[in-house]
C-alpha cells in the first residue's frame, strides 16, 4: 500500500520533485564535471611526465656544455640523472614552417613517447622522430623525407616515428603566442649521432666547443639548494630554471589549478541552492501531507515506518539527481576535455581519458545521506503528538502585525504592496531562497559575460594595439653583431630588441632592451593604457612588482647570467606584460652600462633577407590565428555559464513559485470569493517575484563582479588580466534575469484559474 502511495504522491507533486531532481543533478553535475576536468588533466600530464622523464631543472649556457660539465652535474649529491640537451628552431625546406630540432644525449631525461613507427635509435644517422600533431596537421607520415635548415646548414633525414614529448606539451614558439599552431610550428628529435654527422660545422655558431647549450636534470632538491650545488660544480653562475618556470609545466599546472579553483566556487553555488531548495520544498510537501501522515498513524502504522516511507521521497530525489548529475558531470568533462576540442589543441597529450577524484564519490554519497536526513527531519516534526494531532491540517504561523503597519506611509500603500510585504515576512525562508537563486543567476551571467569582455579587451590592447608590427625577425645572437643588427633594422624600417636572462633574488626573469623609433612596438600600463618608455630607468611587469613589492621610484638590482656583474637601476614604472620581464630603453641600458646583443627586429616588410644572422621569421597573423582556437573554447564556456544561469533561474524560481502558490492557495481563494479577477491575483504573484528579482539583481551584480575578480586573480594571473565589464554585460545580465523571473511568474499565475474556492475555504482557520 505504501509503495502505491509513494508513486501517487510523487505524481501529485511532480513539479516540485522534478525541479528538485534537476537542481540536485545540476549541482552534482557541475561539481563532478569541474573536478573531472582538473583531475583527468593532472593524471594524464603526470603520466607523460613520468614516461618521458620530464626534467626538474634546466641549466643554460650560451657557450654550451661539454661531457665533463655533464659529469660534474651528475656527481652532485641529490641529482638522480641528467642529459645534455639541444633545442633550436629550424626552417622546413620548401615551406615556411618552423620545427624545434631537439637532441637529448640521455633519453631517460627529456625523452619521447613513441606513438607510431620505429623506436628511437641513438645511433641512427638519418632518423627523425616527428611530432605526431605536426605530422597530422601537415600531411607528414612515416617514411617521408624531411630537410631542416638552420642558417646555411641543412639536416636531411627520414621520418622514422611519430612522437609526443613532455618538453613540448604546450608547443609554442614563445610566450607571446597563447595557443599552439601545428600547421606552422612543431618539434622533432634526432639522435646525437645524426647531429655529429650532419652538422659538425655548427660548432662555430656557438661560443665554445659544444652544441649543447642546456643540461636538463632530474632531482628532488629544492631550487635554492640545487642552484648553489650546480654553481659550485660548474664553477660559475648559470641561468637555472625549475620546471615551474617552463611553459610545459607552468601552463598545464595553471590549467589544473584553474580547474580546482572553479571546482571550489561554481559547484558550491549550485549545491548550496539545491540543498537549500530541498530543505524548503520537503518541509512544504510534508506540511501538505500532514493529514495523510495523521491518517497512516490512526490506521496503526508505526512512526518508524511512516518516517521511512516519507524519507524515501528525499532518497529517491537524491538518487535520481545523483544518477543524472553523474551523467552531466562526465558529459561536462568530455565537453572540456574532448580529444578534438580546444584543450587538446592547447595541451598535446597522447590520450584524454576521464578520471574522477575519489573525494567526489564520497561527497556524492554524503549529499544523498544529507538529503535523506532532510526528508526524515521534515516528517518527524509532523509525527509529534497523537494521531488526532497529526490529523489536523497544517496551519501556517499567523501573521504578526509589524510596527511599520501602524505608520502613515504603510497605510497609504496599495493593497497589493501591503499583501506582498506581509507574505515576504511571513515566509522568510522561501523569500530568501528566491533571492539566493536570483543572486546565483546574476553571478553566473556577470561572470561568464564579464570574462568575455575582459578577454576581448586583453586581446585588443595587447595584440591589436601593442603589437604594431607585421613580422618578428629572430636573430642568431651567437653570430650577429649589434652593428649588423642595426643595419638590418634600418633596411627593414623596423625597431629592435635585445633579450637576455637576469636574476633577481633567486628567480630568473627576462631583460628586454628596446629601441622604438618607428612605432612598431607599444607598451601597456596596468590600466590597459598605451604608454611610451622613458630613459630614466627600468620598467617591471605587474607580476615582478607584486613578487618583490616594487613601485615607481624604487631601486631594482639584478645580475645577468653568465656574468659576475650586478646592476642597480631606478624603477621607472609598472607595465602589464605577456612575459615576466624587466623592460628598458637602449638609452637607459647604455647609461647603466648594461651590455646587450640585438636578438629581435620588428618590421612591416614581408621580404626578409635570408642572411646568416636570421634564424626565423614569425608573422603577427600566425600569432593571431592561434587565438581562434583559444576564443572558441572561451566562447563555449561562456555559453555554458549563460545556459546554466538560465536553467538555474527557471528551476529555482519555478519551484519556489509553485511553493508560494501552494502556501497562498487559501488566501487567493478568498480573494476570488470577494471578487478579485485571476489577472489581478496573477499580478500580485508576479509583483512579488519582480521585487525579489530587483533586490537579487542589486546584490548579484557586485557579487558577480567580486567572484569574477577573484577568478581573474586566481586563474589568469600569468596574463595580467584586468577586469573589464562592458554595458552589454550589465544589460544582458539584468534583462535575462528579469526575463526569466517574469516568464516563471506568468507560468505560475496561470494556475489561478484552477483554484477550487469551496474546497480551499473548508480548511481549518
The pLDDT tens digits for 540-576 are: 998 899 889 999 999 999 988 767 788 999 999 999 8
Distance CA(210)–CA(86), nearest Å, equals: 10
Q: Give residue-wise pLDDT tens across range 481-529.
A: 899 999 999 999 999 999 988 888 877 788 999 999 999 999 999 888 9
Query: CA 691, 697, 700, 701: dihedral to nearest 10 degrees?
Result: -160
Q: Across residues 269-297, what is the average pLDDT?
A: 72
In this predicted structure, the answer to whether residue 201 has a pLDDT above a threshold of 80 is: no
Q: Across residues 453-464, what is the average pLDDT?
A: 84
Distance CA(203)–CA(58), nearest Å, equals: 21
Pairing of strands 507-515, 581-585: parallel
User: Given the C-alpha cell 646592476, which residue does it identify?
Assistant: 567
Give the best-scoring range by mean pLDDT among 53-62, 189-198, 368-377.
53-62
pLDDT at 204: 44
Lowest-pLDDT choice from 452-456, 511-515, 672-676: 672-676
**Which 8-state DSSP code applies to residue 346?**
H
Closest CA to 102 of 111, 94, 115: 111
In this predicted structure, the answer to whether residue 200 has a pLDDT above a threshold of 60 is: no
Lowest-pLDDT choice from 165-174, 186-195, 742-751, 753-762: 753-762
Q: pLDDT class for 637, splitting at 50, 70, 90?
A: confident
Q: Across residues 418-426, what is the average pLDDT?
A: 73
Q: pLDDT class for 202, splitting at 50, 70, 90?
A: very low
Q: Across residues 604-615, what is the average pLDDT?
A: 78
In this predicted structure, the answer to whether residue 118 has a pLDDT above a threshold of 90 is: yes
pLDDT at 208: 42
Query: pLDDT: is 546 or 654 the higher one?
Result: 546
φ, ψ for residue 543 (rounded to 5)?
-65, -40
In this predicted structure, the answer to whether residue 203 has a pLDDT above a threshold of 50 is: no
DSSP states of 240-265: EEEGGGSHHHHHHHHHHHHHHHHHTT
Q: Across residues 645-660, what is the average pLDDT?
A: 76
Question: If DSSP codes are grouped into helix, strand and coil, which group holds residue 570?
Answer: strand
Distance CA(89)–CA(81), nearest Å, equals: 26
Q: pLDDT class for 186, splitting at 50, 70, 90?
A: very high
Distance CA(25)–CA(271), nearest Å, equals: 9
Distance CA(630)–CA(347), nearest Å, equals: 12
Q: Give residue-wise pLDDT tens across range 233-251.
A: 988 767 788 998 888 998 8
In this predicted structure, the answer to whether residue 584 has a pLDDT above a threshold of 80 is: yes
Q: Across residues 603-611, what is the average pLDDT?
A: 82
DSSP states of 382-448: HT-S-HHHHHSPP-PPPPPPPGGGGSHHHHHS-HHHHHHHHHHHHSHHHHHHHHHHHHHHHHHHHHH
pLDDT at 642: 79
Q: pLDDT class for 219, splitting at 50, 70, 90?
A: very high
pLDDT at 691: 86
Distance CA(69)–CA(225), nearest Å, equals: 18
Task: Give the global pTM.
Answer: 0.79
pLDDT at 6: 66
Query: CA 375, 380, 381, 382: dihedral to nearest 10 degrees?
Result: 100
Q: Give residue-wise pLDDT tens across range 7-30.
A: 677 777 777 788 788 888 888 988
The chain-wide mean pLDDT, for the chain, equals 82
In this predicted structure, the answer to whether residue 648 has a pLDDT above a threshold of 80 is: no
Give me the percent of the chain exceeding a pLDDT of 90: 32
Strands (E), 441-566: 471-475, 495-504, 507-515, 523-524, 530-531, 538-541, 555-560
Give the best-scoring range by mean pLDDT among 25-39, 196-210, 645-659, 709-723.
25-39
CA distances from 468 to 494, 526, 616 (A): 11, 19, 19
Q: pLDDT class for 75, splitting at 50, 70, 90?
A: very high
pLDDT at 131: 96
pLDDT at 176: 66
Distance CA(541)–CA(525), nearest Å, equals: 9
Give the best-scoring range by mean pLDDT among 46-60, 608-622, 676-690.
46-60
User: Are 604 and 493 within 8 A, CB to CB?
Assistant: yes
Helix-then-strand count for the chain, H and E: 25, 21
In this predicted structure, the answer to whether residue 399 has a pLDDT above a threshold of 60 is: no
**Which 8-state DSSP code applies to residue 119?**
P
DSSP states of 579-612: S-EEEEEHHHHHHHT----EEEEEES-S-----T
pLDDT at 207: 37
pLDDT at 58: 93
Q: pLDDT class for 371, splitting at 50, 70, 90?
A: confident
pLDDT at 350: 93
Give me the percent of the chain exceeding a pLDDT of 70: 84
Q: Over the range 77-90, which residues count as b (16 or more CB within 10 Å of their CB) and which as e?
A: eebebbbbbbbbbb
In this predicted structure, the answer to whether residue 206 has a pLDDT above a threshold of 50 is: no
Lowest-pLDDT choice from 51-60, 94-103, 360-369, 381-390: 381-390
Amino acid at each position: 500500500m505504501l509503495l502505491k502511495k509513494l508513486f501517487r504522491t510523487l505524481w501529485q507533486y511532480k513539479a516540485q520533485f522534478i525541479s528538485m531532481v534537476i537542481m540536485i543533478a545540476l549541482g552534482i553535475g557541475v561539481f563532478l564535471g569541474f573536478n573531472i576536468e582538473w583531475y583527468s588533466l593532472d593524471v594524464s600530464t603526470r603520466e607523460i611526465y613520468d614516461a618521458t622523464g620530464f626534467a626538474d631543472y634546466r641549466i643554460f649556457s650560451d657557450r654550451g656544455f661539454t661531457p665533463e660539465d655533464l659529469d660534474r652535474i651528475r656527481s652532485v649529491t641529490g641529482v638522480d640523472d641528467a642529459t645534455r640537451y639541444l633545442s633550436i628552431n629550424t626552417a622546413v625546406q620548401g615551406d615556411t614552417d618552423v620545427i624545434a630540432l631537439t637532441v637529448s644525449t640521455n633519453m631517460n631525461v627529456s625523452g619521447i613517447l613513441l606513438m607510431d613507427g620505429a623506436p628511437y635509435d641513438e645511433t641512427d644517422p638519418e632518423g627523425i622522430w616527428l611530432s605526431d600533431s605536426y605530422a597530422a596537421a601537415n600531411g607528414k607520415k612515416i617514411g617521408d623525407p624531411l630537410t631542416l635548415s638552420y642558417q646555411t646548414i641543412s639536416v636531411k633525414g627520414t621520418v622514422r616515428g611519430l612522437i609526443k614529448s613532455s618538453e613540448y606539451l604546450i608547443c609554442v614558439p614563445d610566450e607571446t603566442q597563447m595557443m599552439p599552431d601545428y600547421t606552422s610550428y612543431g618539434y622533432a628529435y634526432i639522435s646525437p649521432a645524426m647531429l655529429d654527422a650532419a652538422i659538425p660545422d655548427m660548432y662555430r655558431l656557438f661560443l665554445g666547443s659544444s652544441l649543447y647549450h642546456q643540461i636538463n636534470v632530474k632531482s628532488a632538491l629544492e631550487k635554492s639548494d640545487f642552484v648553489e650545488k650546480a654553481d659550485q660544480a660548474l664553477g660559475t653562475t648559470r641561468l637555472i630554471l625549475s620546471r615551474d618556470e617552463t611553459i610545459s609545466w607552468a601552463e598545464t599546472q595553471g590549467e589544473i589549478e584553474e580547474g580546482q579553483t572553479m571546482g571550489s566556487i561554481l559547484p558550491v553555488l549550485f549545491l548550496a541552492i539545491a540543498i537549500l531548495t530541498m530543505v524548503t520544498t520537503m518541509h512544504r510537501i510534508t506540511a501538505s501531507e500532514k493529514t495523510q501522515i495523521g491518517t497512516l498513524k490512526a490506521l496503526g502504522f508505526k512512526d518508524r515506518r511512516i518516517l521511512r516511507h516519507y524519507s524515501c521521497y528525499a532518497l529517491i530525489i537524491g538518487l535520481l539527481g545523483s544518477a543524472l548529475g553523474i551523467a552531466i558531470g562526465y558529459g561536462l568533462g568530455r565537453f572540456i576535455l574532448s580529444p578534438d576540442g580546444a584543450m587538446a589543441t592547447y595541451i598535446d597529450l597522447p590520450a584524454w581519458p576521464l578520471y574522477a577524484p575519489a573525494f567526489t564519490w564520497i561527497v556524492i554519497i554524503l549529499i544523498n545521506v544529507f538529503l535523506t536526513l532532510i526528508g526524515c527531519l521534515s516528517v518527524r516534526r509532523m509525527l509529534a503528538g497523537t494521531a488526532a494531532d497529526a490529523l489536523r491540517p497544517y496551519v501556517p504561523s499567523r501573521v504578526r502585525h509589524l510596527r511599520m503597519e501602524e505608520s502613515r506611509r504603510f497605510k497609504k500603500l496599495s493593497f497589493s504592496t501591503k499583501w506582498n510585504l506581509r507574505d515576504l515576512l511571513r515566509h522568510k525562508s522561501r523569500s530568501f531562497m528566491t533571492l539566493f537563486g536570483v543572486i546565483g543567476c546574476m553571478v553566473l551571467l556577470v561572470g561568464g559575460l564579464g570574462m568575455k569582455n575582459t578577454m576581448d579587451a586583453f586581446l585588443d590592447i595587447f595584440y591589436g594595439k601593442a603589437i604594431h608590427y607585421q613580422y618578428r625577425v629572430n636573430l642568431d645572437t651567437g653570430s650577429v653583431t649589434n652593428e649588423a643588427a642595426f643595419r638590418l633594422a634600418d633596411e627593414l624600417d623596423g625597431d629592435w630588441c635585445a633579450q637576455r636572462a637576469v636574476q633577481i633574488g633567486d628567480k630568473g626573469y627576462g631583460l628586454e632592451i628596446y629601441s622604438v623609433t618607428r612605432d612598431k612596438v607599444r607598451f601597456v600600463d596596468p590600466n590597459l593604457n598605451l604608454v611610451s618608455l622613458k630613459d630614466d630607468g627600468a620598467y617591471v611587469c605587474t607580476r615582478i612588482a607584486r613578487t618583490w613589492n616594487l613601485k615607481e621610484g624604487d631601486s631594482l638590482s639584478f645580475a645577468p647570467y653568465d656574468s659576475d656583474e650586478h646592476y642597480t637601476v631606478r624603477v621607472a614604472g609598472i607595465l602589464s606584460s605577456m612575459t615576466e620581464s624587466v623592460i628598458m630603453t637602449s638609452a637607459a641600458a647604455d647609461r647603466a652600462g648594461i651590455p646587450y646583443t640585438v636578438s629581435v627586429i620588428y618590421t612591416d616588410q614581408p621580404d626578409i633577407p635570408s642572411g646568416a644572422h636570421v634564424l626565423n621569421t614569425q608573422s603577427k597573423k600566425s600569432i593571431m590565428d592561434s587565438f581562434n582556437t583559444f576564443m572558441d573554447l572561451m566562447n563555449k564556456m561562456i555559453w555554458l555559464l549563460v545556459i546554466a544561469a538560465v536553467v538555474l533561474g527557471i528551476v529555482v524560481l519555478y519551484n519556489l513559485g509553485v511553493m508560494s502558490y501552494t502556501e497562498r492557495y487559501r488566501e487567493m481563494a478568498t480573494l476570488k470569493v470577494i471578487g478579485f479577477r485571476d489577472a489581478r491575483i496573477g499580478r500580485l504573484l508576479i509583483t512579488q517575484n519582480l521585487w525579489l528579482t530587483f533586490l537579487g539583481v542589486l546584490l548579484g551584480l557586485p557579487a558577480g563582479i567580486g567572484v569574477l575578480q577573484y577568478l581573474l586573480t586566481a586563474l589568469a594571473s600569468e596574463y595580467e588580466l584586468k577586469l573589464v565589464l562592458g554595458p552589454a554585460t550589465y544589460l544582458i545580465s539584468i534583462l535575462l534575469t528579469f526575463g526569466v523571473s517574469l516568464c516563471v511568474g506568468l507560468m505560475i499565475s496561470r494556475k489561478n484559474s484552477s483554484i477550487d474556492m469551496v474546497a480551499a475555504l473548508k480548511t481549518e482557520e
